[in-house]
A and B are shown apart, each in its own frame.
Chain A
Amino acid sequence: MSASRHQDWDAAASGEVIAAHAGQQGALLPILHALQARFGWIRDEDVPLIAQVLNLSRAEVHGVLTFYHDFRRSPPGRHVLKLCQAEACQARGSRDVTAHAEQKLGVAIGETTADGRVSFEPIYCLGLCASGPAALVDGVPVARLGVEAMDRLLDGALT
């Protein structure tokens, strides 16, 4: 899910996405997911649009948007590398792999490289716990991701 696959944002297109899900019960999460899938991240301008359609206050929408780790409020890097930080992957060496990737990318986990190439993000469990370290690389699952495999990834698919 690199940023290039996302559409350019405008208020009308955002409004269409919101309207498509507004009829569901408890529509706010489906709307936020749909906006992010379409445009890559959630803009501040989306908040009043959603609030109006769902008859919520902007504060309520903001509260939900900022509660969940998945929702982005700024554009991601061209590639998104989500590396599992949970215990089962720790037991299979993910702390070393994380440190290695941080060193190689020159950013701490949770940050995007200065050139906008990679957003390196923590994720807590992909359910691949017998095959760790595990990651989602632009949405694609990758397991048995040791230091050498991480090198190949960073020098290959994530360039």
Chain B
Amino acid sequence: MTVRVFVPGDMAAVAVGAGAVVDALRAAAAASGVPIEIVRNGSRGLFGLEPLVEVLTAAGRVGYAAVTAADVPALAASGLFEGKGGHPKFIGDPKALPFFQRQTRLTFARCGVTDPQSLDDYRRHGGYRGLERAVAMTGEAIVDAIKLSGLRGRGGAGFPTGIKWDTVRLTPAAQKYIVCNADEGDSGTFADRMVMEGDPFLLIEGMTIAGVCTGATKGYLYVRSEYPFAVTAMQRAIETARRAGLLGAAVAGSSHAFDIEVRVGAGAYVCGEETALLESLEGKRGQVRAKPPLPAHAGLFGKPTVINNVLSLAAAPFILGEGAQAYRDFGVGRSRGTMPIQLAGDLRNGGLFETPFGVTLGDLIDDIGGGSISGAPIRAVQVGGPLGAYFPPSLFDTPFDYEAFAARGGLIGHGGVVAFNDSVDMAAQARFAMEFCAIESCGKCTPCRIGAVRGVETVDKIVRGEDRSANLTVLEDLCETMKFGSLCALGGFTPYPVMSALTHFPEDFGAPSRAPEAVV
């Protein structure tokens, strides 16, 4: 009987040798006369395990962690193709690991489990149930479900998704668009990438539901060029969905038309900002637009446009398929449902951890994340990407929800958590935040375009001890100006990492003669 073997095709697994492991497994299977079928699944999302080889046995799947090509002959000899234990790399059932047991996987239920390019596999695991319900509902009823679920934009802004969809639905136009923002540029984030590579039909289904709801017939998926595997995976899955009648003139046999085109970014971080992304899709420089008009009224090519993050759209199939209340039952306060949190940097258990809102930062770092992998103590954690604040361990009791982070001068953004050990130089991190803003500024707003350059210079002066007190005042002023004088979050939020570094780690900025009072 053919043995089913799983080796992730996820970019993070390939980057640590999964391709060579596949070659070695084929060679070992051929040598021992065992017929095998290798499935290139997505990653389950605990990246220290990669390449994670799984074998399907009568008792379920068993795993072998961090396999190298050189390990394969010995693993095969010790009974890998029968799923036998005994080898030090054998970990048994991967989903029984505490890291996975403690998660609530709604969006990521299939990622790492199924064959991402198999539509049958997707359906067998509950896929397209949401769209089937949606095509039998009115647009208003779909909006009501999304509103009731409490889903808020997962890209970072946290705007209620249902209201956005409703605005587009109620704006009359001959052409409307669904744009998926897959320009996941925040360092420390990879959830969008994992969805696209590991469960692409989920995103297709989510975008299609949004189209059916609002009357949009065309979807654009804007993927960053840094994600070549995601681009290919989405293009293949879209083609499969078209052939199956799930995209095209009559979606799932309904009267709704909807299709999706993949567009590739070109290395501009600012295009993750929704209006810059729309400009880029139109073939222009990725410069931010002033709002109003809202994209929901006049977005892509001037037409009403839903623009949502991957994770927002990927939540829709669950909400429609399992019910809005089932989603809403998770979470705290005004942060409903689950958040795919991404643990990165110097952590033992770096990876994707989907959980209801409300878990504390300390639990994420020390307990779930397993502390640092380097062994050095964690000194600072940046939450929410390059525009997010740095938190010291004294703020680790902050619960992961939109409002709690805002109350402490931070933001959860797209859910990236990057841990730094005690070798970090926080002045260098503040300087980098300004430098990154200077590199990536679209140039539209003066405080961002010029302020970021002046910010780098000013941090340098402070660190050199040059007129320290006066330059601290300049830096605080500059941050205030950027915060209130920029159209988008790039200029507007760069002050978060800068001022939080200065506030919580003044000792890294030369003599702590004076603690700055201003906290952004």
Contacts of B347 in A (CB 8 A): 130
B185's closest neighbor in chain A, by CB? Answer: A125
Shortest CB–CB separation between residue A36 and chain B, in angstroms?
9
Is B432 in contact with A90, judged by CB distance below 8 angstroms? Answer: yes
Bound complex: CA A84 to CA B418 (Å):
15
Is A70 in contact with B225, judged by CB distance below 8 angstroms? Answer: yes
Within 38-84 of A, Cβ neighbours of B (below 8 Å) are at 54, 63-64, 67-71, 84
Is B268 in contact with A68, judged by CB distance below 8 angstroms? Answer: yes
Bound complex: CA A133 to CA B231 (Å):
22
Within 371-423 of B, Cβ neighbours of A (below 8 Å) are at 382, 386, 416, 418-421
Is A129 in contact with B350, judged by CB distance below 8 angstroms? Answer: yes
* The one of A30, A70, A143 that contacts B263, using a Cβ cutoff of 8 Å: A30
Which of A87, A126, A141 lies at the interface centre, i.e. has the most chain B CB atoms within 10 A of its CB? Answer: A87
Interface size on B, residues (CB 8 A): 58
* The one of B11, B386, B424 that contacts A91, using a Cβ cutoff of 8 Å: B424
Is B344 in contact with A130, judged by CB distance below 8 angstroms? Answer: yes
Contacts of B268 in A (CB 8 A): 67-69
Contacts of B111 in A (CB 8 A): none
* The one of B267, B345, B350, B386 that contacts A69, using a Cβ cutoff of 8 Å: B267
Contacts of A158 in B (CB 8 A): none
Bound complex: CA A142 to CA B343 (Å):
19
Interface string of A10-53 (1 = CB under 8 A from B): 00000000000000011111101100000000000000000000
* The one of B47, B229, B266 that contacts A29, using a Cβ cutoff of 8 Å: B266
Asked whether any CB of chain B lies closer than 8 Å to the CB of A86, the reply is yes
Contacts of B424 in A (CB 8 A): 91
* The one of A33, A64, A126 that contacts B285, using a Cβ cutoff of 8 Å: A64
Is A87 in contact with B345, judged by CB distance below 8 angstroms? Answer: yes
Asked whether any CB of chain B lies closer than 8 Å to the CB of A116, the reply is no
Within 180-207 of B, Cβ neighbours of A (below 8 Å) are at 184-190, 192-193
A33's closest neighbor in chain B, by CB? Answer: B264
Is B15 in contact with A88, judged by CB distance below 8 angstroms? Answer: no
Contacts of A142 in B (CB 8 A): 15
Asked whether any CB of chain A lies closer than 8 Å to the CB of B346, the reply is yes
Interface string of A84-100 (1 = CB under 8 A from B): 10111111100000000
* The one of A25, A26, A71, A88 that contacts B187, using a Cβ cutoff of 8 Å: A88
Asked whether any CB of chain A lies closer than 8 Å to the CB of B159, the reply is no
Q: List 21 A-B contacts (CB under 8 A).
A: A29-B263, A29-B266, A29-B281, A30-B263, A33-B264, A68-B267, A69-B267, A87-B432, A89-B187, A90-B432, A91-B345, A91-B419, A91-B421, A123-B267, A127-B12, A128-B47, A129-B344, A129-B350, A130-B190, A130-B350, A132-B344
Task: Apart from A26-B263, A124-B226, list 4 A-B contacts with CB within 8 A.
Answer: A30-B264, A68-B265, A88-B187, A126-B227
B residues neighboring A (CB under 8 Å) = 11-12, 14-16, 47-48, 50, 184-190, 192-193, 225-229, 263-269, 280-286, 301, 342-347, 350-351, 382, 386, 416, 418-421, 424, 429, 432, 436, 440, 442
Q: Closest 4 interchain pairs by CB?
A: A130-B350, A91-B345, A86-B187, A28-B283
